[in-house]
Amino acid sequence: MEKFEQIFSFINEKAEKYESSGEYTFLEGVLQSLEEILDNQTQWIGHDASKEEIRKAIQIAILKGMRKNSQPNHQMTPDTLGLLVGYFVQQFFAEDIKNRQISLLDVAAGTGNLLFTVMNLLDGKTSATGVEVDELLIRLAADTAELIEQPVLLYHQDALQKLLVDPVDAVVCDLPVGYYPNEETAVEYELCAHEGMSYSHHLLIEQSINHTKEGGYLFFLIPANLFESEQSKDLHKYLKKNAWIQAVIQLPENLFASKAHEKSLLILQKQSTAARAPREVLLAKVPNMSNKEALSLFFEKVQMWKENK
């Protein structure tokens, strides 16, 4: 049995005990199990495990809990997408990470899976801030961060309220899609809808750009039809004024349950006097991940674009 499977079994067994008591859901049981480990109330078997093995084990336990009592805001970014985002962060910051740590922000951190996947990939080269409104999810994120020893500052709040976060080098975010109910807050944003409710994913893009350093990059997992919605004209106008689109990467259909759930990766750069827009936007489609040859051609295309941008 692989190490991460041993750790998963360990957490799973404890979470099931909590669930069978009738006082906790399985997901709450996972949280209780992690707290037990951190409080040294139990013999932790993960001392010799890598950060990635621990992250994967916790992620599988959390996924099991989410499937058991599915709530729309309890979604997790699949590892494949997290690793792809991490690859692009690595590409865009290749020079920076030779000499310094880069700061990351996720304004919809959830359980932290996307953030931690990227941080583990660039281990030792990042520090991060995560914001999450759901208490259970952010507590799971906090415990995971502690167990994998990644430097993350977490805020339990609505990310569209005032954020006490210094501008960062990069934003990574799997944007939650929907309408934003708090109109008093929405009117503070340029992307507030002229009539009806505003899209929370549009407002989160604006909030993210506000908290990015000039010349910094933003990596968003977006609905594939983001630029086709009724409010997309305003989004186009806003982006033209504040950011340069670097890349729009279509993701493989087989990663999503249905066409309606399909996503793309949007990479932006916050405008800066010290930088310029790319000569051309990288438009590419990630092939099926099991097709090694096509995948290697895709990465070659990215490298060629990077050298000529």
More confident residue, 289 or 91: 91
Q: Which is nearest to 266 in space by CA: 291, 305, 289, 239?
A: 239
Q: Is 265 helix (H, G, I), strand (E, B) or coil?
A: strand
Cβ contacts of 66 within 8 Å, gap of 6 or more: 27, 74, 75, 76
Mean local confidence (pLDDT), 93-119 = 97
pLDDT above 70 (res 71): no
Strands 126-132 and 102-106, by their bridges, are parallel
Measure the CA–CA gap between 295 and 14, rounded to whole angstroms.
Answer: 40
For 133-161, the pLDDT digits (tens) are 999 999 999 999 999 999 999 999 999 99
Measure the CA–CA gap between 16 and 134, rounded to whole angstroms.
Answer: 22
Backbone angles phi, psi at 181, to 5 degrees: -75, -20
Measure the CA–CA gap between 94 and 88, rounded to whole angstroms.
Answer: 10
Q: How many CB atoms lie within 10 A of CB 135?
A: 9
Q: Looking only at Cα atoms, what is the longest distance across the chain?
A: 60
* Element spanning 214, H or E: strand 212-223
pLDDT band at 289 (very low <50, low <70, confident <90, very high): confident
For 15-63, the pLDDT digits (tens) are 999 999 999 999 999 999 999 999 988 888 988 999 999 999 999 999 9
Torsion of Cα atoms, 232 then 237 then 206 then 141, to 10°:
40
The residues spanned by each domain of the chain are 3-68, 79-308
Q: Do domains 3-68 and 79-308 have the same CATH topology?
A: no
CATH 1.10.3470 fits 3-68, yes or no: no
Give the homologous superfamily in CATH for domain 79-308.
Answer: Vaccinia Virus protein VP39 (3.40.50.150)
pLDDT above 70 (res 74): no
For 254-276, the pLDDT digits (tens) are 888 788 888 999 999 999 999 99
Cβ atoms of 112 and 175 within 8 Å: the answer is no
Q: How many CB atoms lie within 10 A of CB 194?
A: 7
